Amino acid sequence: MKFFVSFFFISLLSCSSNNCPSLNSNGYPRNILVNYLVNDKVKLGSKDDFLNYLQNNKKVLYPFYEIQDTLSFDIKVNNIYSLIDNEYFDSLYYDVQREFGNKKNLFLKLDHSIGIYNSTSKKKLNPQITVLMSGFYNDVVVDKENIILGIEYFLNKENKYKPRDLPSYILERYTPEHMTSTMLSTFLSQFNVIDENDKTMLNEMISFGKLYYVVEHLLMCEKENIVLGYTKEQYDMIEENEAFIYSFFLQNELFFQEGQLIKQKYLSERPSTFEISQSVPGRIGRWMGWKIVSSFMRGEKYTLEDLLLEDDYKKIFYNSNYNPL
């Protein structure tokens, strides 16, 4: 069984409050199952308790913690246990309870989104959500049946506890309002087909764009900057300079570049894409991929599943007629 790990993704499209669906379903999800393990930490009084906890939830905890039954098992478990067996973890636990105490409504948006996807898809998705606290070991890990959430990653910005290994420009995306879109995009990324034989930047741009577009239409009332992982100021700036950014890609013949280093400059996590401007944020090629896919979908009758399965990026690019100049 293959698991995927995310340290980034996002979701999208704002709509007026009048068009936003009501998510009052008495707090009980219909398309997902929720396994809430956060409170189990209270019962773990020793390392033996923790080992039993791992064994009882092996299907989800082993992938989440990247545990294998090898000679290094004891070392791995000791390292994991040290993250939760410390004086700060109890304080972190109470912060999580204050922020996310209403478990009944915590995943209604995600449940609603899966329902929308299933309404037109041939393959129905019914993931189980497992919620736990790991002392910032992992944020979101998925396979095709599970979404495993390290919920402490998504505490509000003002919380004093933060993962140590993430720079500030990435931490901007770890807030309560980013949680649903991160979970959804990470889960759906498994079903997003790409032509693995084509190494061009445009192929990868379109792949990211497809995923953003799908999440956008499943989370209809989410703000665009939240979907794309930008601050509002960053998003407004790149939207206002769309033609300039597009012309930069054209003039520098970037779309069909295949070099890994140059692709990283425009697709990967960076505080800015200074090659264009210091004010242009990182991952700008993903944003442009979303613009291209959005233009393409205005003239097509694809379901969201169809779009994820479409791996002909040239078809999407040329039929999009995207040109902001």
Segment 117-132, tens digit of pLDDT: 999 999 999 999 999 9
Residues in a beta bridge with 141: 5, 148
Q: Are 224 and 215 in contact (CB under 8 A)?
A: no
What pLDDT is stored for residue 303 in this prediction? 97
pLDDT tens digits, 81-106: 998 888 889 899 999 999 998 777 89
In 3D, which of 191, 171, 175 has the Cα closest to residue 122? 191
Distances (CA, A) of 41 to 45, 83, 90, 140, 142: 8, 12, 9, 18, 22
Percentage above 90 pLDDT, the chain: 74
d(CA 131, CA 38): 6
pTM of the predicted model over 0.75: yes
- Residues 6 or more apart whose CB falls under 8 angstroms from that of 82 comprise none
d(CA 200, CA 209): 15
What pLDDT is stored for residue 85 in this prediction? 87
Q: Are 131 and 101 in contact (CB under 8 A)?
A: no
Task: Indicate the domain borders of the chain.
Answer: 4-191, 201-320
Which has the higher per-residue pLDDT, 17 or 268?
A: 268
* Weakest-pLDDT range from 29-33, 75-79, 111-115: 29-33
d(CA 304, CA 246): 26
Indicate if the pLDDT at residue 3 is higher than 90.
Answer: no
Q: Are 208 and 295 in contact (CB under 8 A)?
A: no
What pLDDT is stored for residue 24 in this prediction? 59
Would you say the C-alpha torsion 276, 198, 297, 14 has a positive or negative sign? negative
In 3D, which of 257, 218, 237, 262 has the Cα closest to residue 113? 218
What pLDDT is stored for residue 40 in this prediction? 75
Q: Are 41 and 85 in contact (CB under 8 A)?
A: no
pLDDT tens digits, 32-74: 989 998 877 657 778 898 899 999 999 999 999 999 877 688 8
